[in-house]
Structure 1
Amino acid sequence: MHLTDSHAHIYSEQFKEDRDATLQRAFEAGVQTIVMPNIDHTSIDAMLETELHYPQNCFAMMGLHPCSVGKHFERELYQVEEWLSKRPFAAVGECGIDLYWDKSFFAQQQEALRVQIDLAKRYQLPLVLHTRDAFRETADLIEEAQDGSLRGVFHCFSGTPEEAERASKLGFLLGIGGVATFKNGGLDKVLPAIDLANLLLETDCPYLAPVPHRGKRNEPAYLPLIAQRTAELLQKDVEEVVEATTRNAKALFNL
């Protein structure tokens, strides 16, 4: 099977000592393609170096994470824009709104997202959206800007059936990760109603490891566990889920 991890911070410091071994485990598990979201200016070098060493497997995005939006977010966005003008990227991201940790920069997060929406339109790239405790606020801005050209994914989706439907109507996919394996994750009530054509699989490593690794460092080699649980909830063969989500990822990210 050829799986695609549509959201993995494999360049993270948490993999500094064993990145090559971690990637080898991923390849052996059938995960051949890994799409890497950027965080801010501090993550760019490590991300691009990982892509350089694994050009057939690891693909970089470019964006500004909402948790990195602060007083000087404009400087960060200038770097994002400069990089997007220099070379191809798989997507603009990850970007969005996060109201879980801190609401004091909500207005700046909204502005940063608007800028990145415009960049996605300009470079005809998909958006990878982070929406922790902020699905409605993020979806409102996407809806406001949607002219038929915007596409992308609500990454790490763990929302309601109504939110899933709204995302799909906006022309966006849903990124399904380790939460699908959690006993009280809630996706068991949502996934059965979602068309497979609207789904991507992701680990969001090193975060949100699936059961039975919950609480430990996550890695792309655990993606088959997410695929298996997704298949169970959809009442489909895992091969069908893997094939469809890989096809969806290749189409979205132009891989």
Structure 2
Amino acid sequence: MSKQPIGIFDSGVGGTSIWKEINMLLPNENTLYLADSANAPYGLKTKETIINLSIKNVEHLINQGCKIIVVACNTATTNAIYILREIYDIPIIGIEPAIKPAALNTQTKTVGILATKGTLSSELFHKTTDLFASNIKVIERIGEGIVELIESGQLHSEAMRNLLKVYLKPMIDANIDYLVLGCTHYPYLMPLLVELLPNNVKIIDSGEAVARQTKVVLEKNDLLNTSLAKGKCKFFTNGKTEVLASILNNEFEVEYLDF
């Protein structure tokens, strides 16, 4: 089992930000990435639909022999992770917005979070926020349209810049000192965000933490690949292969999969 791949899925290309962190930390692990771009974004769908899509993705990855599943999607994690863990025996890693470190470290007692509607309205997100951020001001913003622009290859467009200006203005006006990225697509906005935000605002996402947790769970279950060879990385999408390839700097072959 140890040589079997780590399975990773997202509602599109954004979860590659998680894949990159995992690949950096565990370069000898084989990985299989599944982009459900045809159904992106998950954030606007009903909880039932999100659960069904997540099950479909996990089924495919398990059928490909994956030894562990990383749900590289905040919306899928916050809406479906408990059900996935009830159904399947293999380890399943989730991801949720890093509101805890932001809440614990803020000096202005005001933090911003940019996420999808599905994440911000989920029970898991509200539980986390109530637990760690009850004494601070949290300015939430649904990043409507961001995922769609990224999935259509408009990451660096003027439309994206204008959208972010609108979303960030209330946060800047409220004097946030942390911006939490609550969608795995959003780390690809980092250069634009750094440009648009004041210098004192720290931007955090969950990528490194998810990679570390994946390593811990692999070790705990004796599933680490002990081979010294560099791992093989496979990428599949039911959307535009060129968009996923571009996000990966055209360094990997991307296969179209009708699923």
Please report the TM-score for the alignment, with normalisation by the length of structure 2. Answer: 0.34
Which protein has the bigger strand share? 2
Higher relative contact order (CA 8 A, sep 6+): 2
Please report the TM-score for the alignment, with normalisation by the length of structure 1. Answer: 0.34
